[in-house]
Amino acid sequence: MMTLARKELRSMRPFLTLAVFIPVVGILYELLTGLPHMRPVASTVGEYAASGWESSILVFVVFFSLASGLLVREYDEGTIEFLDALPVSRVRIFFTKFLLALSVPFVLIVLDISTVVLLQAMSHNSLHDTFHWGFLATALMLRMCQALTVLCLGLALSFFRRFGWLVVGLLFWAYLLLQESLPAIRVLNLFAITAPKYDGLAWIVPWRQVWLQLALSSGLLTVACALFLGAGDRLLRSYHRLTNSLPGRAALWIGGASLFVVAAALGYQMIERYEEEEEGVEVPGTDIRIVYPSWSTSRATTQHYEFLYPNNLEGRSRQVITGADEVHERVREFLDAEPFTRIVVDMTGVSAQHAGRAHWEKVRIDLTTSGDADVLRAVLGHETAHVYLDRMSDSRLLDVFDSTRFFHEGVASYVEYRLLRPAEDIQALWSVAAVMRARKQVDFDELVNNERLSARLDTDLVYPLGEVFVEAMVEVYGPESVGRTTHAMARDDAPRGLSGQELWRDVFQACDYNLETVIDRFFAKLDEQVAEHHDFIQALPRVRGIVNIEHGLITVRADWQTLEGWQPVCRFRQAEDTPARQYIWGDDWDGEFLCHESSFPDGVCWYQLGLSDGKGRVIYEPWNKVPVPTWE
């Protein structure tokens, strides 16, 4: 038995070396590149104890690779015969291999956590005076749980040989697909389990996820064990018998073709169903669903655009098409850009999220969002501005979208409201910015970090705040500054890898502008808007949420002083980084918003209350979170 263990350890040496090497490099990095006595546990757990997406993927690749070769190598190299000759059962061999394989993640995780402990020992002070042993133990347990699932998955799929990776690919995309419509599927997310969620100073253990993944691991382990014990041999022999006879080959062909036909039919069905659903768009916060039947499409070409539109909305489409070139010219002149060949405008679809969307040289506009041709033309101008910004910046703005989104949307909104809409329309947009400023919610660092803004407040704030920023920029450096800064993004000698304020400082500096001056003007303009909308800000109540969790339902009651024309809205999300399209809109029951507890298997539910005027203006409170019981 010991000999077997030694032999296995020898074969696992490269992985064990890696498991030691990675944390040791981490420790060396800490010691050689920074002050190790300024790294208390609060600042290191995110890097070493918990495991974010990137490190989870690395962990997945390493452990899956380890598991892929653990059992089948014996078959592939013919050494299984030698093992069979030993006075040890295959079950014992299997579990010896499995347990020793677990030592690889164990070593890696323990060393990672030791890094945290070492740095805390060096950084110990009167505020950071504890090692948070409970937190670290939870980290160890959850990361081991993750590693166990990955190992078991790898072992079970290892008999597919290299096809195992393809199967993993399929599982991954199937998960992403299901996540779009079935939030509860997150319970199977291998990576979410190691992202810490806090209950005070403790890490909330997502027991539902843990048990389910452990159950899954047991199942996978059983499959792997069965295959290793002989089912694999038998399958292989059956397969060879099948391929050696004509009827067998025919059966395989027919079986394969049938599978393909079934998959294709299923796919077709799903697309059909999706298309049917696509015809209807739910208006957030209401029971209204806009539905119109599918119609054939027509095309129209102008000097600068190529339009696709549904025949049933021809009248509305025509109104957009008439005057489209004028819109284009106004946008182009403002941005001081060279014209280029036609932009494709697809007006055949409807969208639950956006009135319009730009993709490089193509724009999609949802004609159902408004019956007013001026509004639709303004949307066209907004999207055209996006197309030009991407083109002028050689898509650099897109490369660092997290840092540039406010500018992208700010310029497009400026174009939309200043060039294409009546002057009074902008007041609604500015009022949102003014409320946020009055509530001390505007932070420029956050504005240039879309991820942070979305995590804390509202991703759509980039429209009003971005617009005010562009106003400030135009006021300080003139309208040409928008084009100049956009071009500066694409300059050949621009340093790479910058983000946030660092990026914008570099861009402004390249244009001989001072970013700080524009920021100063930006806040001054916001303060002007606060004064301008003083009455509105005073009248607008704050909304407080009162949360209850009972009978599998999460209820958020909006506590607010009613204001005529305004209604509370509430949305939920699973995590800080959940994309906006996956937010769950709470069903409104007399001012109470409901959501199923099962949608939050991580143990945390994020909710956000806001007030909507029913005309597209929604003013949100910051996101809040509540721990959700996960032990049921």
Question: If you write DSSP's letter for every residue of 10-67 in order, what string do you get?
Answer: HHTHHHHHHHHHHHHHHHHHHHHHS-GGG--HHHHIIIIIS--HHHHHHHHHHHHHHH
176 contacts other proteins (rule: CB under 8 A): yes
How long is the chain?
A: 632
- CA 551, 568, 606, 545: dihedral to nearest 10 degrees? -70
Nearer to other proteins, 48 or 94 (CB): 48
Nearer to other proteins, 217 or 384 (CB): 384
Question: If you write DSSP's letter for every residue of 537-597 in order, what string do you get?
Answer: HHHS---EEEEEEETTEEEEEEE----TT-EEEEEEESSTT--GGG-EEPEEETTEEEEEG
CB of 95 to other proteins, least distance (A): 26
Of the CA atoms within 13 Å of residue 485, those in its CB half-sphere come to: 25
Contact segment (CB under 8 A) with other proteins among 230-238, 250-258, 404-412, 612-620 equals 250-258
- Which residue among 37, 234, 241, 534 contacts other proteins (CB under 8 A)? 37
CB distance 278 to 366 below 8 Å: no
Nearer to other proteins, 286 or 311 (CB): 311
- Which residue among 306, 374, 402, 425 contacts other proteins (CB under 8 A)? 306
Nearer to other proteins, 215 or 263 (CB): 263
Nearer to other proteins, 196 or 323 (CB): 196
Q: Is 200 left (phi over 0), alpha (psi -120 to 50) or beta?
A: left
Contact segment (CB under 8 A) with other proteins among 90-98, 150-158, 213-221, 350-358 equals 350-358
333 contacts other proteins (rule: CB under 8 A): no
- Which residue among 88, 102, 107, 122 contacts other proteins (CB under 8 A)? 122
180 contacts other proteins (rule: CB under 8 A): yes
Q: What is the Cα–Cα distance from 584 to 581, expressed in whole angstroms? A: 8
CB of 30 to other proteins, least distance (A): 8
Crossing angle for the helix pair 462-477 and 401-414, to the nearest 10 degrees: 70
The helix or strand, by DSSP H or E, that contains position 297, with its residue range, turns out to be: strand 297-301
Q: What are phi and psi of 280, to 5 degrees?
A: -110, 135
Positive or negative, the CA dihedral 39, 45, 48, 52 is: negative
125 contacts other proteins (rule: CB under 8 A): yes
CB of 92 to other proteins, least distance (A): 26
Binding mask 56-95 for other proteins (x = CB under 8 A): ----------------------------------------
- Which residue among 102, 344, 428, 490 contacts other proteins (CB under 8 A)? 344
Write the CB contacts of 603 (distance below 8 Å, at least 6 apart in sequence): 197, 199, 204, 205, 206, 207, 208, 627, 628, 629, 630
CB distance 101 to 9 below 8 Å: no
Identify residues 354-373 at the interface with other proteins (CB under 8 A): 354, 357-362, 364
Contact segment (CB under 8 A) with other proteins among 163-171, 210-218, 219-227, 464-472 equals 163-171
- Which residue among 1, 5, 254, 259 contacts other proteins (CB under 8 A)? 259
**Helix and strand counts by DSSP (H, E) for the chain:** 25, 18
589 contacts other proteins (rule: CB under 8 A): no
- Which residue among 86, 141, 398, 428 contacts other proteins (CB under 8 A)? 398
Output b/e per residue, 582-596; b: 16+ Cβ within 10 A.
Answer: ebbebebeeebbebe
Identify residues 489-548 at the interface with other proteins (CB under 8 A): 495-498, 500-502, 505-506, 509-510, 512-514, 516-517, 519-521, 523-524, 526-527, 542, 544-548
Binding mask 551-580 for other proteins (x = CB under 8 A): ------x-x---------------------
Contact segment (CB under 8 A) with other proteins among 87-95, 104-112, 184-192, 267-275 equals 267-275
CB distance 307 to 296 below 8 Å: no
418 contacts other proteins (rule: CB under 8 A): no
114 contacts other proteins (rule: CB under 8 A): no
Question: If you write DSSP's letter for every residue of 410-466 in order, what string do you get?
Answer: HHHHHIIIIISS-GGGHHHHHHHHHHHHHTT---HHHHT-HHHHHHHS-GGGHHHHH
351 contacts other proteins (rule: CB under 8 A): yes
Write the CB contacts of 163 (distance below 8 Å, at least 6 apart in sequence): none
- Which residue among 137, 182, 199, 233 contacts other proteins (CB under 8 A)? 199
- Which residue among 395, 427, 459, 598 contacts other proteins (CB under 8 A)? 395
Crossing angle for the helix pair 324-335 and 373-392, to the nearest 10 degrees: 40
Q: What is the Cα–Cα distance from 281 to 299, expressed in whole angstroms? A: 24
Nearer to other proteins, 230 or 256 (CB): 256
CB of 425 to other proteins, least distance (A): 26
118 contacts other proteins (rule: CB under 8 A): no
- Which residue among 4, 196, 596, 598 contacts other proteins (CB under 8 A)? 196
Write the CB contacts of 346 (distance below 8 Å, at least 6 apart in sequence): 308, 362, 363, 364, 365
174 contacts other proteins (rule: CB under 8 A): yes
- Which residue among 133, 162, 424, 615 contacts other proteins (CB under 8 A)? 162
Nearer to other proteins, 88 or 459 (CB): 459
CB of 409 to other proteins, least distance (A): 17
- Which residue among 3, 341, 538, 561 contacts other proteins (CB under 8 A)? 341
Distances (CA, A) of 111 to 24, 56, 119, 311, 494: 8, 16, 12, 65, 40
Q: What is the Cα–Cα distance from 394 to 491, expressed in whole angstroms? A: 9
Nearer to other proteins, 91 or 170 (CB): 170
- Which residue among 55, 86, 278, 402 contacts other proteins (CB under 8 A)? 278
